[in-house]
Structures are given as structure tokens and as C-alpha cells.
Structure 1
């Protein structure tokens, strides 16, 4: 029987790879390859990809069968005529999103609807409820890797809950109708082979400025959906781009076992000491800037990270990585492979949304935050006004001598004003710097910009 099951499994794998493999690869250009050594000791997750034929047309999500997450996001002003933003993705065709106003005199779809001058990128994920196969096998694999005893039922239960989003079958070619602030409906999708839909949508109602609003799936109430929270960000002011793992959350990224432990085993993830207080001070000092949490973690961790952020840190957009891999080793390689390229591309996207804001970038030394932030500072002069890198120490698997070396930081920030970037060990070291940024801003004097009280051409 096991032999027959294996034949069936291999046959299904060939079919999925034939019809979906290319699409998965194209839709996830930054999805990392999983080294063979990780594949050998971490469980496969192959069954989360369904068979999808190229000729299948998109269909709506079924409230009785599916789960949906809509990520929190940040709305930005639509570019005006002459405002060139080459990295900004085009707004979805209104014939696809089918906007409909729910109140007011204009309720028809079409040119009669007045754009409000705001747009927002909606990211949504689609799954079949409780569809993950071989859950016990995956849980056992993680427990074995971390030496969790078989009779530790509480830990096994916790692993099972957190692993569910990694093994549930994703839903390609799906659409979702949502209500924005109870005033407008639009359609998201169709989703990619990874079960993710991403696209910019213009708003046709006047949103609360300053303020925020919620978007919820039509006919899909909690717990089968996670609604989104949209924060309105005007064109000017401050903004914060922050890494998550080992910058504000203890993950132990250089250590594969540390990643698994901090993701599946600990009862609650721990914040890096002093960082919640620092972010609260930044919020107060810089007049509640929009926060973007840019992480290389896979999107399957969104509910886990959202709960962590809500407990310790200011609200904001969590930007996560695609997860088109078929083995749990992808979790580890997502956080460690090609992160510079991935983060650099997402920084370009944030710049396309808010090119006139002044940004502070906060990261750490475990992976490629210095290099990615340095790339953005060189590409968009004057956009990034400060870069703060937390020097991570005390992780056995980390090459601290290389990662924390002055030579590494000098190379990463080559060509970047030395007054902009700073490496810190304790969050309190940044208090004075943030206060100076708030006090001095971007005062232009004689064609030059002031950074931290010093002049730079």
C-alpha cells in the first residue's frame, strides 16, 4: 500500500510541476532554492500546491470552503500629471476590480465614478480550510529536529497550530470581493500559483485623512478571514522602514534550529529588549509616521507576525516574501538566501508609493540589511535620512567577526553620507539621533541638505 501511495504521490508531483511549476517560478522570482541538506531533515510540503490547468478561468473564493487573509497596508496619493514614478505598478483595470460605491449618488461602475486621488496595494492570501495533509508528519519532523519529547503534548499542539498555514492547500486563480470602509466594493485577484493576489487599487470615496479604515471580505466573516487595516499616508513627513527578525523580534536567523524554535516552539515570540520603547519614542517624536515592516519571512507567518506587532510595536504594513517552495527548509532559506535582492526590490516599491517622505531605515547585522539599505540610499539620494543597524551578538552560528566588522559596514554604505548611517548595540543610543532628526528635518540651505546638523552637498 505504501508503494502504491508513493507512486500516486510521484505521479501527482509530476502533474503539478508540469502545469504549475513554471508559473510558480515566474510569480516568485525571489523565492529561494532549498539546499539538499535542509531537504534531508525537514518535511516536505508538496501537497499545498493544487493541480491548476492553464486554461482554467479565475473564480471567486467560496466562503464555505476557504480561508482568506488581507494584509494591512498603507494608502498613498495617486501621482499627478508629470509625477513620474517608473517603479509604481499600474492601477488595476477597473473592469477587473469592478469598483462599486455603496453610498452616495454615484453607485454605477464606470467613468461616472470619481477617483479620490488615493490608491493602495492590496495583498491577499487564499487557502482551503484545514486542508493540510500529513500534519502529524510535519509536526513530528519539527519536534524531532528540536528534540521535543513525544509526551510534550502542549508543544506538539502549538507546533500544529503554527504549521497549519504552511501545509494548507493554496488557491491559485481565485478572486475576492471586499468592502472598503463600508463605502466601496472592489474585487481582488486573480491569485498567483502561490495563492497570493497583489495589485494597486484606486479609491473612489473620500477616506479619512489623517486616519485609517478597514477592508473586509464580502460574505466571509472571521475566523475564516483576516481583514485589513489601511493607514492613510500623505506625501510628506517622516516614514519608518524596519526589519523584523533580530531587529525587533528575537529569531536567531543565523541558526536554523534557532529559526525553528523561535517560530514553532516558543509560547510567544520575544521582542528585542528596548526596541518596543524605542519605536514608541519614534512614534511620539516624529508625529506618528507610517511604519513598513520589511521582512524576508514567508507570508505563511503573517498572522503570527501581525499578532506580535500588535502587541509590541506601532501599526503598519508588513511586507513578506513569497513562499513557493515544497519543503519546510524554505522557511530557513527565505530568511538567509538572496535577501539583499529581495529587500532592495521592496524598497523601490515603497519609494514609488511615498517618494517625497523622509525615511529612517532600521535593521540588523545578521543578514543583508546594511547592503539593501545602502543600495536604496545610493539609488534615491535624499530619500533615506538615517540608517540604523543593530549589531547582533551572542549567536553561536553567526560569523560575528565578519558580520559585525567595520569593513563590512564601510563597504555596504560606500558613497553614502557617513552622518546618515550608525551601528548600535543598545536602542537608547538612538534617542538623541531621532530627536535631532525631528528638530532639524531636511532644512535646505544654499542648495544643500542638513543631516543631523551637518552640511552635505
Structure 2
């Protein structure tokens, strides 16, 4: 008889406000995925396989314990995800928010609901970002080929597959100058690291730990990583009508109506189309749009044509981060 695997809860950094609590994560069997450094090819393949082969714990009761001892109850969906958005009075939580806006809370399986072993003594840490009232603006950034070399513009996207499956996170390279640019945006013109970052990608939630480890290794500003559900050819659930990136950005704009935002992406996919459309829908909310040139002649030509007729907000197609830094300084976005 096979021994049942231990259980864990994969928690994802979330974002909210002084009146809105949000938490997202997934209940799973523990696959012992190890994202340490200097791993060989076999171990890397094993890790990636285990992330996508994950066995979810569906329809199970979850407790979210806030630092003021309040508890919020929720239940995982048929794919093991919990995604709660609840209006609450967080005034009692203010003392627990750190100086960068992060509120720490803990997630656990509800007592007496499972008879299986649970990792970490059934205590899983998570955090929610509440942007500081000192923030000048927020930054929303794409990931693939914007901050990490991926190859989304390659033929049949073969580089995306090769880079993700065959390279451990510590073998992946950040786009040159990106960390420097992002740290300057994080500081803004006041020199205080309070401008909030949000990372949006079409990658599946299965790659969350992989991407999170990459961000930490390269010291990118900490922020929620907003991914999407992994769809298979046999997935019968209806596809979302609004593209994932567009939906996430609109939600951020609506969640923080007092904040203006900077959008960062690349010329490889649909970032330019999504960002310009959002800037036109939300006039005066987008401070600037930065698009990294992935040096694909046909795509570059299309983006330049689009930029020539766009005037809803400042927009720059740049080849290296120094060009973006120079533009941001001239626009008085950074110092």
C-alpha cells in the first residue's frame, strides 16, 4: 500500500488596502521540490516536472489567522486554490504592518478536517502588501523578456520551453540594468523604498516558487507575482474574456484609485497593445509606459508605428535600461 504524501499550502504574496483583505494560495501534496542553487540538469527537470504534476487538495477548509488573532475561514476550489477578497476593518492591524507596507499572516488547514501529515506543523506564512500613503506611484512589470531572458519572440517559443525546463533559476540571467532601474523606481524622487511593485505574467502559478527564487537571487524589489491558472487542452472551464495581464492591471488600478502607475513590458508579445489600451481607458493614471525592445524586426516596426500615433501617456521603446533611466530622470519620476 502506498504511503500518502504530506500536505502543504503554497502561499502567494497578495495585495490589499486598509479596508480590503486579500489572500491567495493553493493546497497541495508536498512534492519535496528543492530550489537550492547549483543543481544538475536531472534535478532541474525533476523540480519542473513536480511543479506541473502537483496534486491539489480540493474543497478543503482553510483558516487564515491574522496577527490580531482574528481568523478568516475559506475553502479551496476544485483545483486546490483559495482566493479570498474580504472587506474588513484593518485598523487593528495597522501596528502589524511593517515600514514597507507588508502585513504578515498565517494559513493552515482547518483542524480535524484531515488525517494526513501536514508540513511545517500546519503553519504557512503569507504576506499582503498595503502600499504606503507615502508612495508616489506604483509599478506594474511584465516578467518574460522584460526582466528575465526568456525568448517569447523566438520561433514556436522554443527558447521559452528550453529556458524554463532545462535551467534552474540560478542559471537564468536578469536583463542587464533592470535591477538598477527597478530599485530607482522603488525609491522614486523621495529616496524611500515605498513605491509598490507588482509583477504580472502569463506564466502559470506552478512556476511561482521558481520565479520567486529568481527575484530574491537578483534582489528585485519585493512585490506580488500575479500569475494565472495552468490550462490543459482538456480544460473545460471557459476561457476568460479579458486577457490575464489586462485584467490584473485593471484590478490594480481600481484597487488603488489614488495611485498613478508606471507600466513596464517588452515588444515581444501583446504588452504594447494592452498597455496603450489601458492608458486610453484610464487617462491621467499612467505616468509612463516602458517597452524593452526584444530586437525582432517585424515586431519593432509594428510597435514604432503604434507609438507614433499614441499620446495618452509618455511611452518609450528602449534597447537598454540606461535609456529608460535617462527618460525617467528627465520625466522627474526618479532622481
Task: Give the structure-2-normalised TM-score.
Answer: 0.80
Aligned match of 1:193: 78
**Does the residue aligned with 1:122 lie in a helix, a strand or coil?**
strand
C-alpha displacement at 1:225, in angstroms?
7.0
C-alpha displacement at 1:257, in angstroms?
2.7
- Note the aligned Cα RMSD (angstroms): 3.2
Whether 2:217 is the aligned partner of 1:323: answer no
**Does the residue aligned with 1:316 lie in a helix, a strand or coil?**
coil
Aligned partners of 1:362 and 1:223: how far apart in 2? 40
C-alpha displacement at 1:413, in angstroms?
7.9
C-alpha displacement at 1:243, in angstroms?
0.3
Aligned match of 1:402: 298
> Is the 8 Å Cα contact of residues 388 and 421 (structure 1) preserved in structure 2?
yes
Cα pair distance change 1:194/1:402, threshold 3 Å: farther
Aligned match of 2:36: none
Whether 2:27 is the aligned partner of 1:120: answer no
C-alpha displacement at 1:183, in angstroms?
3.6
Aligned match of 1:227: 125
Aligned match of 2:246: 344
Deviations 1:96-149 (A, max 9, x none): xxxxxxxxxxxxxxxxxxxxxx323211112123399xxxxxxxxxxxxxxxxx
C-alpha displacement at 1:172, in angstroms?
2.7
Alignment of 1:288-303 (within 5 A): 288=193, 289-303=195-209
Cα pair distance change 1:357/1:175, threshold 3 Å: same
Aligned partners of 2:281 and 2:76: how far apart in 1? 31
C-alpha displacement at 1:326, in angstroms?
5.6
Cα pair distance change 1:440/1:71, threshold 3 Å: closer
C-alpha displacement at 1:404, in angstroms?
0.9
> Is the 8 Å Cα contact of residues 344 and 375 (structure 1) preserved in structure 2?
no
Q: Which runs of 5 or more residues in structure 1 are unaligned?
A: 1-62, 78-117, 133-152, 331-336, 394-399, 442-457
C-alpha displacement at 1:159, in angstroms?
0.8
C-alpha displacement at 1:270, in angstroms?
1.4
Alignment of 1:38-437 (within 5 A): 65-77=6-18, 118-130=19-31, 154-181=40-67, 183-188=69-74, 190-201=75-86, 202-204=88-90, 205-207=92-94, 208=97, 210=99, 211-218=101-108, 222=120, 227-234=125-132, 237-255=136-154, 256-267=157-168, 268=170, 269-286=172-189, 287-288=192-193, 289-312=195-218, 313-325=220-232, 341-393=243-295, 400-405=296-301, 407-411=302-306, 414-417=309-312, 420-437=314-331
Q: Which runs of 5 or more residues in structure 2 are unaligned?
A: 34-38, 110-117
> Is the 8 Å Cα contact of residues 28 and 80 (structure 2) preserved in structure 1?
yes
Cα pair distance change 1:154/1:209, threshold 3 Å: closer
**Does the residue aligned with 2:306 lie in a helix, a strand or coil?**
helix
C-alpha displacement at 1:198, in angstroms?
1.5
**Does the residue aligned with 2:231 lie in a helix, a strand or coil?**
coil
C-alpha displacement at 1:68, in angstroms?
1.1
Task: Give the structure-1-normalised TM-score.
Answer: 0.60
> Is the 8 Å Cα contact of residues 68 and 226 (structure 1) preserved in structure 2?
yes
Deviations 1:230-277 (A, max 9, x none): 222146631000000100011112343311222122232211111111
> Is the 8 Å Cα contact of residues 68 and 127 (structure 1) preserved in structure 2?
yes
C-alpha displacement at 1:294, in angstroms?
0.6
> Is the 8 Å Cα contact of residues 75 and 119 (structure 1) preserved in structure 2?
yes
Aligned partners of 2:47 and 2:160: how far apart in 1? 17
> Is the 8 Å Cα contact of residues 194 and 324 (structure 1) preserved in structure 2?
no
> Is the 8 Å Cα contact of residues 213 and 229 (structure 1) preserved in structure 2?
yes
C-alpha displacement at 1:278, in angstroms?
1.2
**Does the residue aligned with 1:430 lie in a helix, a strand or coil?**
helix
**Does the residue aligned with 2:17 lie in a helix, a strand or coil?**
strand
**Does the residue aligned with 1:367 lie in a helix, a strand or coil?**
coil
